[in-house]
């Protein structure tokens, strides 16, 4: 996953970059409005960490430009300007999150994971047991974030099991396994790790 840090405070930018690289992210940085616009015009990113106050422009103008271009990149505003007006304007312009400085780097990592996860799943409701997830509107089944091919469409009334059992996940996934993914050993192993006795 590739990130762009737009931050004019060099020491903070370096700290953020180092922490995020340790988490496995590919990180690039821009310290000015002009440099940020140039990078965004040439490269693609999964998430942009955007400071509002830049030496040669306003970070919110960058956000407007991102949204005007039709890009679906996630944007987290990271700013010392903690006014409610700035937060409202940033979110209304399309920012995915707003993190006021100073912040803990662990919280920054958590916010990045959260917004990128929502983006991958388009905000879709998911039922999860361990590393197995079922996405409600698209009716996709994933294991470790990877789609699992279904042998036939899911019996969607099985979703109601989620709401009617005291321990809903297990019978729900039993129904999925018996109906849609019989013979898929990867799913069976994942469900077994969750304590689900799959009907294979």
Could you give the percent of the chain with pLDDT greater than 90?
41
Full domain range(s) for residue 174: 126-193
Instruction: Mark whether 116 and 130 lie in a shared domain.
Output: no
Instruction: Mark whether 30 and 101 lie in a shared domain.
Output: yes
pLDDT band for 144, please (50, 70, 90 cuts). low
pLDDT at 136: 59
200 in any annotated domain: no
The whole-angstrom separation of Cα 123 and Cα 48 is 18
198 in any annotated domain: no
Instruction: Mark whether 29 and 7 lie in a shared domain.
Output: yes
pLDDT at 122: 58
Asked which of 85, 120, 155 is the last residue of a domain, the reply is 120
Contact yes or no for 135/142 (Cβ under 8 A)? yes
30-to-3, 4, 34, 114, 127 alpha-carbon distances in Å? 11, 7, 9, 23, 38
Instruction: Mark whether 132 and 77 lie in a shared domain.
Output: no
pLDDT at 163: 37
* Count of domains forming the chain: 2
Instruction: Mark whether 104 and 189 lie in a shared domain.
Output: no
pLDDT band for 125, please (50, 70, 90 cuts). low
Instruction: Mark whether 76 and 90 lie in a shared domain.
Output: yes
199 in any annotated domain: no
Cα Dmax for the chain: 62
pTM of the model: 0.62
Asked which of 92, 120, 148 is the last residue of a domain, the reply is 120
pLDDT at 1: 85
Instruction: Mark whether 15 and 106 lie in a shared domain.
Output: yes
The residue ranking higher by pLDDT, 171 or 113, is: 113
142 in any annotated domain: yes
Whether 92 has a pLDDT exceeding 60, the answer reads yes
Instruction: Mark whether 32 and 50 lie in a shared domain.
Output: yes
Asked which of 102, 120, 138 is the last residue of a domain, the reply is 120
Instruction: Mark whether 7 and 89 lie in a shared domain.
Output: yes
Region label for 128, one of left (φ > 0), alpha (ψ between -120 and 50) or beta (otherwise)? beta
28 in any annotated domain: yes
Instruction: Mark whether 138 and 114 lie in a shared domain.
Output: no
Instruction: Mark whether 16 and 111 lie in a shared domain.
Output: yes
Instruction: Mark whether 51 and 11 lie in a shared domain.
Output: yes
Arithmetic mean of pLDDT, 10-33: 95
Arithmetic mean of pLDDT, 2-24: 95
Enter the tokens of residue 25: 């992210």
Handedness of CA 137, 139, 143, 147 (dihedral sign): negative
């Amino acid at each position: 996953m590739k990130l762009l840090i737009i931050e004019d405070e060099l020491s903070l930018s370096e700290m953020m970059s180092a922490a995020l690289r340790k988490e496995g992210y590919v990180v690039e940085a821009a310290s000015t409005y002009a440099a940020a616009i140039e990078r965004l015009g040439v490269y693609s990113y999964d998430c942009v960490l955007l400071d509002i106050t830049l030496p040669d422009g306003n970070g919110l103008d960058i956000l407007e430009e991102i949204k005007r271009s039709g890009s679906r990149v996630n944007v987290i505003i990271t700013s010392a300007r903690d006014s409610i007006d700035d937060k409202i304007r940033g979110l209304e312009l399309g920012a995915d999150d707003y993190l006021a400085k100073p912040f803990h780097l662990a919280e920054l990592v958590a916010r990045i994971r959260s917004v990128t996860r929502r983006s991958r799943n388009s905000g879709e409701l998911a039922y999860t047991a361990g590393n197995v997830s079922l996405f409600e509107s698209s009716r996709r089944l994933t294991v470790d974030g990877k789609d699992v091919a279904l042998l036939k469409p899911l019996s969607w009334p099985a979703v109601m099991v989620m709401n009617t059992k005291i321990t809903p996940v297990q019978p729900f996934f039993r129904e999925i396994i018996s109906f849609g993914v019989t013979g898929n050993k990867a799913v069976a192993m994942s469900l077994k790790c969750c304590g689900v006795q799959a009907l294979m």
